[in-house]
Amino acid sequence: MNSRRPIRAVLLALLFAILLPGRATLRAQEGQESNPAAALTSALVAACRQSDAGFAHYITAESAESFQALAVEQRKTLLGRLSLLGGPGRPLVSTDAQNRTVLRCEGSSATIEFRFGAERVRENLAFIPVQVVNGRSTRFGLVREGGGWRLISLGLLLFDIPELQKQWADEDLAARETAVIKTLRALADAIGTYRNAWEKLPASLAQLGPAPKEGVSADTADLVDADMAAGRRGGYLYLYRVLHAPEGGDGGFEVAAAPEEYGKTGRRSFFLDAHGKLHAGDHQGAAADANDPVISPDQN
């Protein structure tokens, strides 16, 4: 048995000697495509696969540094937006009748197809129109850097990773806040339904929650889902309060919604008053109240 060990070691050494140079050559070739269309194809393939390491080869050195500094979740989100798929997919590359690139990114629930147009090259700059089947058209700009082609623009927008991330983060916050407004109005309707059914207001949001198999009751009215019944949804925390009239009975209700992580899940806090008016204000994560500006029904 011991006599076999030197032979095995030699074989392993030969195997590594064969494999490692080949791998080094492959790494050296990444990001060194000879034409802009090939580089753009590789960039979109990396985005489709959500390979942040691969994608970094096809943006400028400055953008790559900023890209790698992002959190993993942020890098994946950016690649998902670029591929239009949202999550990882399987790329399939082919050519059309004009010998231009067609890239299909197949996800679990959708497939996005990119059709390249004729590239236009001027010295160290190149522009490639890309049509997304059943979607919009745009134009990618590339610049020659470090022996290869790198993305510098998408449409009329410079491919500035920090600026893109900031814009997308702002869009996400705005979408979350819009969802909170819809949730508060839907919650008010659910509370009204409870009131009509049981002739009283619920003591807590938990009483609006899912009902057991035995059926609905005043304690489990089955009007909202479990998250809403627990006072949490979409990165916001909800606080419900019943108001009591001086002469007895209930005087209506109020609901406050504040971001769970200020600046990440939302900026504005919201307040639904006893008259059904919705107020909003930026309180650095603290609760809003009736002194904040009123949001009109058609306003976000």
- The pLDDT score that the predictor gives to residue 232 is 95
- Provide the token pair at 45: 């393939």
- The pLDDT score that the predictor gives to residue 15 is 34
Distance CA 79, CA 5 (A): 47
pLDDT tier at 113, thresholds 50, 70, 90: very high
pLDDT tier at 294, thresholds 50, 70, 90: very high
- The pLDDT score that the predictor gives to residue 142 is 95
Find out whether 44 and 105 touch, Cβ atoms under 8 Å: yes
Find out whether 36 and 122 touch, Cβ atoms under 8 Å: no
Domain ranges of the chain: 23-159, 169-295
What is the third-level CATH fold of 23-159? Nuclear Transport Factor 2; Chain: A, (3.10.450)
- The pLDDT score that the predictor gives to residue 293 is 95
The residue with greater pLDDT, 221 or 22, is 221
> What angle do the packed helices 61-69 and 72-83 form, to 10 degrees?
120
pLDDT tier at 182, thresholds 50, 70, 90: very high
pLDDT of 190 higher than 90: yes
The position carrying tokens 């819809």 is: 182
**Residue 236: C-alpha distances to residues 166, 232, 268 (Å):** 21, 6, 10
Please state which of the ranges 49-63, 115-129, 132-146 shows the lowest mean pLDDT.
132-146
pLDDT tier at 154, thresholds 50, 70, 90: confident
Please state which of the ranges 110-124, 142-156, 176-190, 276-290 shows the lowest mean pLDDT.
142-156
pLDDT tier at 25, thresholds 50, 70, 90: very low
As a whole number, mean pLDDT of residues 27-31 equals 48
- 147 φψ region: left (φ > 0), alpha (ψ -120 to 50), beta (else): left
- The pLDDT score that the predictor gives to residue 230 is 97
Mean pLDDT of the chain: 85
pLDDT tier at 221, thresholds 50, 70, 90: very high
pLDDT of 10 higher than 60: no
pLDDT of 298 higher than 80: no
pLDDT of 125 higher than 60: yes
The percent of the chain in helix, strand and coil, each rounded to the nearest 5, is 40, 30, 35
- The pLDDT score that the predictor gives to residue 285 is 94
Query: How far does the chain reach from its first CA to its final CA, in angstroms?
Result: 76
As a whole number, mean pLDDT of residues 76-90 equals 90
- The pLDDT score that the predictor gives to residue 157 is 66
pLDDT of 73 higher than 50: yes
- The pLDDT score that the predictor gives to residue 29 is 52
- The pLDDT score that the predictor gives to residue 246 is 73
Q: How many CB atoms lie within 10 A of CB 214?
A: 7
pLDDT tier at 130, thresholds 50, 70, 90: very high
- The pLDDT score that the predictor gives to residue 292 is 96
The residue with greater pLDDT, 248 or 17, is 248
- The pLDDT score that the predictor gives to residue 12 is 38
- The pLDDT score that the predictor gives to residue 91 is 96
